[in-house]
Amino acid sequence: MRAEQGFTLMEALVAVAVFATAAMGLISLNTNSIRISAQMGDRALARQVAENVAVETITNPELQIIGRTFGEEVQRRRSYSWEREIAPAPREDLVEITIRVRATGEEAVLSEVTLFHRIRGQT
């Protein structure tokens, strides 16, 4: 009698288990990659919001008031909350402007920009 050639049931089950384990690892890697890409996109948009608020603050002297102000801005159908804090700087002719941007309703800061600006009328 000739021996049959091929895989036994046990060998086939082991091969399927090894393949399934490898496939799950690849799926997990892909899922993490997609999540990280989405986070980077949110951070990039938040950075744009922070830069927009900074430009508005620098170009409009009426906005250069010591203290905190808050606002919201929509970038590409995503809503972001920003906080602008203006404080005196070590030099009398400068103010320190800090802008923090969060996704609306979230606590985590996605972008923070700090800059120093010369007060108009000062030398």
Structure confidence by residue, pLDDT tens digits, 36-87: 888 898 999 999 999 999 999 999 888 888 999 999 999 989 999 999 999 9
Count Cβ atoms within 10 A of the Cβ of residue 2 and give its class: 0-12 exposed, 13-18 middle, 19 or more buried. Answer: exposed
Domain that residue 17 falls in: 9-118
Looking only at Cα atoms, what is the longest distance across the chain?
A: 105
Give the residue, 93 or 119, on which the prediction is more confident: 93
Residue type, 48: Q
pLDDT of residue 1: 54
Q: Is residue 123 part of a domain?
A: no
Number of domains in the chain: 1
CA neighbor of 42 nearest in space, from 95, 104, 85: 104
pLDDT of residue 123: 47
Strand partners, 28: none
Please report, for the domain that includes residue 97, its CATH number.
3.30.1300.30
Q: pTM surpassing 0.95?
A: no
Rounded to whole angstroms, how far apart are CA atoms 103 and 78? 8
Q: Is residue 16 part of a domain?
A: yes
List the structure tokens of 56.
């508005």
Rounded to whole angstroms, how far apart are CA atoms 57 and 64? 6
Task: Name the E strands within the chain.
Answer: 67-75, 78-88, 94-103, 109-118
Q: Is residue 97 part of a domain?
A: yes
Q: Is residue 49 part of a domain?
A: yes
